[in-house]
Structure 1
């Protein structure tokens, strides 16, 4: 059953169109990695028109897509695992979600009971296309969006409806709400205090452990806008009269950095040719500077790794051997240069330094092996 309210979509501006193109490029890169056997994702083709006709990407792009996805998947799954002893479900907020399929992959696996609510935010043009794909009966995505547990949702007319078989369509088709999944249109560069209270309504709980995901988002924003954005969540998950014991707050950022060297300048020139700028990269010229994004906002801990380091030390040798057998990779030196300019940063804000959430983070293969002995 679908309940729909009719509000005209807002027109897209140039920044939205650039971001829309980048979101499509990321989805096409993932599709290529899936088709070549690097990754398993039976949902990505449902979010891309004429998926079977899309060209494959180079081995360099396929490898980078694999490392990025594998690392972020591990961080997300470990966050969900840590919530089990707490006896609470988790919330995940994916900001600039694009055509990401993580919600459906999680709900199709062993982690579905740990998902209390999953939010995806992006420009209206992006969410409109994603909402249309979800609502397409042939995609199969509707089933995963609404079929896990009866929850209370609120209709556009403020009528409370409790059922597991309803998906609310709002804002002219740009927004969706279901028992666990919420797709929300917004411009993250705008003041979050002006948009988030209305978007999240009563769906986002300050008492549940919550993980924020930023994949190639903050680097496109001004440092001031991204700082205000993170601070809004820090304030929302801070102790208050109404919330004396807020849930742990985690954050993962994936983006390029250190673009002031010669190879970084080549990357920047390529982006400028596409009329794309990266104002958010300037404050982070080195790997060591990346955790400061969290620490200056009072996070308990923060750490960053380059994709090159993750590929070398955080992925099992057997898996690297499997990946190397899929395609001939001639551009090893170029791959290392590219992976050296992309990083995954994660941080956690917990109630105390002895919280189990402090243990959250990627572990090198040697440590993983030692833990199993």
Structure 2
């Protein structure tokens, strides 16, 4: 007898599962008091039953989140200084909770629109979680103003928009209809920040560059920022182990930057038309760009035996912050945006 026919393999299923890893890592960091996040538990099934992650993962999640939060908060503050509200677009947002954390924080009134894009399978789950959770939906505003769309893969509220799509498709299909209406979801005149955390590496360089170029063109007369968190340096021994571990899970990295030099990473953003671009490894950020009091605090949370391994892992991830400003006048304000070295007390203090 012939074997029963097998279902065609979902090539993107393994990529979507990486969001579960990120959500569980964040939940673990919150449970261990590395981070504060009142909302992640509503986006993780049975959060009380999830096992904590190793200290190495918790520290990495802390450094990544702290640095990106710093850049986002600076963006909101500079928008305020410019006398404008701003927009944030999160590519491949998954189970990220940043909107809820910002919308319940001191800079909430600076947000004009917050948009999240991801695979329809991911956004459907998130939309259901939002509708199910009073804590999540209450932050979005009046229940009558929260609408599901396109069969439940999209959700719209006054400031928040969740869109199910495939970023590899032309942006003219993904966002074109939504920004060409009489009242577009994104205002091309407002300062806008793009966030992308371990997303572009799952796309070809041509596909991800097309996404970035679309935003660069749409906001050519305004201010555009871009924060990308990615792995790199995958050609050395440790990087090859990372790649092979992902391959064992049917995850490939067609868009990973195979460069061992972090200083090369900004080039693609400058080539696309960003005014400035800067890349820092998580190792550099942990050592010099996180408040020393915070480093001291988290050092007492758990015993870390694998210090050398931690440095190796952090050295293979980078945060690239890029800025495009349409006028020289605006550059004087917005060039202040970026991570800054935190002062350390000398031994004589």
Report the TM range for the smaller structure's normalisation. Answer: over 0.9
Task: Specify the alignment match of 2:136 in structure 1.
Answer: 141
Task: Specify the alignment match of 1:350 in structure 2.
Answer: 325
Any residues of structure 2 matched to 1:236-251 within 5 Å, and which?
Answer: 236-238=218-220, 246-251=221-226
SS of the residue 1:365 aligns to: coil
Task: Specify the alignment match of 2:210 in structure 1.
Answer: 228
Aligned pair partner of 1:46 in 42, 66, 88: 42
The alpha-carbon deviation at position 165 of structure 1 amounts to 4.2
Task: Specify the alignment match of 1:166 in structure 2.
Answer: 145
SS of the residue 2:87 aligns to: strand
Query: Would you say the 8 A contact 1:223–1:283 is kept in 2?
Result: no
TM-score, normalisation: structure 2? 0.92
State the alpha-carbon separation in 2 of the partners of residues 15 and 330 from structure 1. 37
The alpha-carbon deviation at position 316 of structure 1 amounts to 1.7
State the alpha-carbon separation in 1 of the partners of residues 290 and 219 from structure 2. 33
Any residues of structure 2 matched to 1:150-161 within 5 Å, and which?
Answer: none
1:269 maps onto 2:244 in alignment:
yes
The alpha-carbon deviation at position 309 of structure 1 amounts to 0.3
The alpha-carbon deviation at position 87 of structure 1 amounts to 1.4
Structure 1 residue runs of 5 or longer lacking an equivalent are: 1-11, 148-163, 239-245
State the alpha-carbon separation in 2 of the partners of residues 235 and 169 from structure 1. 29
Deviation by residue 1:150-192 (Cα, 9 ceiling, x = unmatched): xxxxxxxxxxxxxx84111101111011100000011001111
Query: Would you say the 8 A contact 2:231–2:318 is kept in 1?
Result: yes
Deviation by residue 1:238-295 (Cα, 9 ceiling, x = unmatched): 2xxxxxxx32000000010010111111111111111111111145442011111210
Aligned pair partner of 2:340 in 357, 363, 368: 363
Query: Would you say the 8 A contact 2:233–2:258 is kept in 1?
Result: no
Aligned pair partner of 2:157 in 173, 178, 187: 178
Task: Specify the alignment match of 1:281 in structure 2.
Answer: 256
Query: Would you say the 8 A contact 2:194–2:226 is kept in 1?
Result: yes
SS of the residue 1:109 aligns to: coil
Q: CA distance change for structure 1 residues 257 and 271 in 2, over 3 Å: closer, same or farther?
A: same
1:312 maps onto 2:308 in alignment:
no
Any residues of structure 2 matched to 1:127-138 within 5 Å, and which?
Answer: 127-136=123-132, 138=133
SS of the residue 1:296 aligns to: helix
Deviation by residue 1:327-368 (Cα, 9 ceiling, x = unmatched): 00001000000000000000000023452111110000039x
Query: Would you say the 8 A contact 1:300–1:353 is kept in 2?
Result: no
Any residues of structure 2 matched to 1:1-373 within 5 Å, and which?
Answer: 14-136=10-132, 138-147=133-142, 165-200=144-179, 201=181, 202-238=184-220, 246-282=221-257, 284-354=259-329, 355=331, 356-366=333-343
Query: Would you say the 8 A contact 1:133–1:139 is kept in 2?
Result: no
Q: CA distance change for structure 1 residues 183 and 332 in 2, over 3 Å: closer, same or farther?
A: same
SS of the residue 2:81 aligns to: coil
Deviation by residue 1:305-340 (Cα, 9 ceiling, x = unmatched): 000000000112211111010000001000000000
Query: Would you say the 8 A contact 2:233–2:259 is kept in 1?
Result: yes
TM-score, normalisation: structure 1? 0.86
SS of the residue 1:63 aligns to: helix
Task: Specify the alignment match of 1:159 in structure 2.
Answer: none
SS of the residue 2:293 aligns to: helix
SS of the residue 2:188 aligns to: coil
Deviation by residue 1:120-145 (Cα, 9 ceiling, x = unmatched): 00000000000000001x44111111
Structure 2 residue runs of 5 or longer lacking an equivalent are: 1-7
Task: Specify the alignment match of 2:4 in structure 1.
Answer: none
State the alpha-carbon separation in 1 of the partners of residues 11 and 65 from structure 2. 25
Equivalences, count: 334
